[in-house]
Amino acid sequence: MRLVSWFRAIGDRFGVLPVLSLAALSRLWGLGSPNKLVFDETYYVKDAYTLWKAGHELQWQPGDVANFTPSNYLTSPEFVVHGPLGKWLIGLGMQLFGVDNPFGWRIVTALAGILAVWLLYLVALELFGSKRWALLPAFLLAIDGQAIVISRTAILDGLVMTAVLGGFLLLLKAINRVNPAKWLTWMALLLGAGAAIKWTSALFLLVFFAYYTLHTKTWKHLSLLPLALVTYLISWTGWFTTRGWGFRSSDPIGSFISYHQQMYHFHSTLSMQHPYQTPASTWLAMLRPTSFFFENQNGVVTAISPIGNPVIWFGGIVALGFLFSWFVTNRDRVSVLVFTGFVAGYLPWLLYPNRTSFQFYSVVFEPWILLVITLMAYRYRAVRMASVGGTLAFAIFIFFLPLYLGLPIPLGFWQLHMWLPTWI
């Protein structure tokens, strides 16, 4: 029980601060390395740069995929399939720290990843009413490899995770506080902004409002839903004012709708071969993590892989089974709430099994898996198990840290981390 007592003493004395410090260290340390584009940064860094230059995304020189040369953009608008807000945010970091500075590319997503840890703590505090138990999911998110790598990469998924987690916190406040309209208003605005990063957020918006409707058995709050459209449309101001791809001055509204129809067609029909594509049905088991970066120079490997912490993810599968069996017999409010975020983030991908998808998309609903783990530990008062599991997860976090931070390691040491052949 000494381990349990030690964890309690740290939490009681310092609260969430040590967890946030750990999250900040793992997300900010060596953020500018590697000094080159990582995975899909080739799209979002370039789009962010031209958004700030022209007000809309521009095309780039053919063949310049792996490099970012600021002068290599063209004057022709580019067709992109995600809203502009996430790229505006990435571009903000580039404006503050320099367009040639990889730290500037990634700082906004890193800060969003740290914020997500704090938001998850606040969410758990609302759900469980215990500061000690609220620390557990925040700690797990702070040390999970997938969440760390996504936060350290200038792509959109971590920003979406933070937005929907914030929306969930506002939903809980609407349920638990007086004047729920205020919280629902902010939730609609925030998730509308999230949809302007990726449409995934819109699904959370609909599910959260549906839950609140069923919970309160009232309908009048649904009048707040259009507020989400306000923040969504504001994010497209640059496209309207600078005439982005597909804009027709004779019919701006019609061209905007037509653009979105083409975006939907792309997302609903995307089917292409990729060495790291993986169906959503395998995500929880981490069968095929995406390799973000890999270099081998004379037997010294620099690799970046968003491999989820095995203790957390395999423990999450077990916890989901326990939660489902508990829900069948009890149907309590907290279980339903935790299920809402998980279902909103995961179910849509299961409905499109032939759509090209990747393991790291699961980061958007990962916080709810951590809440499931915490809820089961809380329900069964498994304090010692939570402490031992957390310690083991932390040990694995230390072991995998070189692959999260992209640190140079011997090839043989990298191979020790490839626990499954499909991880290579």
Instruction: Return the domain boundaries, the chain.
Output: 2-267+292-423
In tens, the pLDDT along 203-217 reads 999 999 999 999 998
Q: What is the phi/psi pair of residue 295, to 5°? A: -135, 135
Buried b or exposed e, range 303-324, using 16+ CB within 10 angstroms: bbbbbbbbbbbebbeebbebbe
Highest average pLDDT, of 220-224, 265-269, 294-298, comes from 294-298
The pTM assigned to this predicted structure is: 0.95
Distance CA 358, CA 288 (A): 8
Q: What is the phi/psi pair of residue 303, to 5°? A: -130, 145
| 261: pLDDT strictly greater than 90 | yes
Distance of CA 33 to the CA centre of its chain: 21
* Cα dihedral across residues 399, 405, 408, 411: positive or negative: positive
Phi-psi region of 36 (alpha: psi -120 to 50; beta: other; left: phi over 0): beta
Q: Which helix (H) or strand (E) holds 410?
A: strand 409-410
| 270: pLDDT strictly greater than 90 | no
% of the chain residues with pLDDT over 70: 97
Neighbours of 280 (CB within 10 A): 20
